[in-house]
């Protein structure tokens, strides 16, 4: 069973952002599926690195769009992006140090709660950027 299921309510109406969001949901699901106890440390590190790189690239795309459109909530949105990236870096460092859980949250819990909250409170407001 996937960690995240794509829902129509995640649509922003911006085709390339929606495409990216779908890819991120797939990548998050694939990453979390590969992080089981039978996974090698190299495989886990590779999955985490790929996830981090893709999320960084997606955030750069969103932030460029927001700057181009002079989005009034840019600073708050960017701060939320930076918070997730900081959490992911912390978890990646913790994994490398031998800790599988950090701050009482596993990676899948962190990603699932962040994605749902971020979408409902930040990305859902992208309707103003469609023009």
CATH number for the domain spanning 24: value is 1.20.120.50
**Given this model, what pLDDT does residue 60 score?**
96
Question: Does residue 120 lie within any of the structural domains?
Answer: yes
For the whole model, what pTM was predicted? 0.81
Question: Does residue 3 lie within any of the structural domains?
Answer: no
Q: pLDDT band at residue 112, thresholds of 50, 70 and 90?
A: confident
Say which range, 7-11, 24-28, 39-43, 102-106, has the weakest mean pLDDT: 102-106
**Given this model, what pLDDT does residue 100 score?**
56
Max Cα–Cα distance, the chain, nearest Å? 48
11, 19 contact by CB (below 8 A): no
Q: How far apart are CA 62 and CA 49, in angstroms?
A: 20
Question: Does residue 112 lie within any of the structural domains?
Answer: yes
**Given this model, what pLDDT does residue 25 score?**
86
Does the pLDDT at position 101 exceed 60?
A: no
Q: Which long-range contacts (CB under 8 A, 24 or more apart) does 82-87 make?
A: 84/55, 84/114, 84/118, 85/52, 85/55, 85/56, 85/59, 87/114
């Amino acid at each position: 069973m996937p960690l995240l299921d794509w829902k129509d309510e995640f649509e922003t109406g911006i085709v390339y952002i929606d495409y990216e969001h779908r890819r991120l949901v797939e990548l998050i699901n694939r990453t979390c599926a590969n992080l089981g106890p039978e996974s090698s440390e190299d495989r886990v590190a590779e999955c985490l690195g790929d996830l981090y790189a893709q999320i960084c690239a997606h955030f750069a795309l969103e932030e460029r769009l927001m700057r181009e459109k002079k989005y009034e909530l840019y600073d708050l949105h960017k701060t939320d992006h930076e918070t997730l990236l900081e959490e992911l870096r912390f978890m990646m460092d913790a994994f490398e140090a031998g800790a599988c859980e950090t701050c009482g949250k596993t990676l899948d819990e962190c990603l699932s709660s962040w994605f749902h909250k971020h979408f409902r409170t930040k990305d859902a407001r992208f309707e103003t950027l469609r023009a």
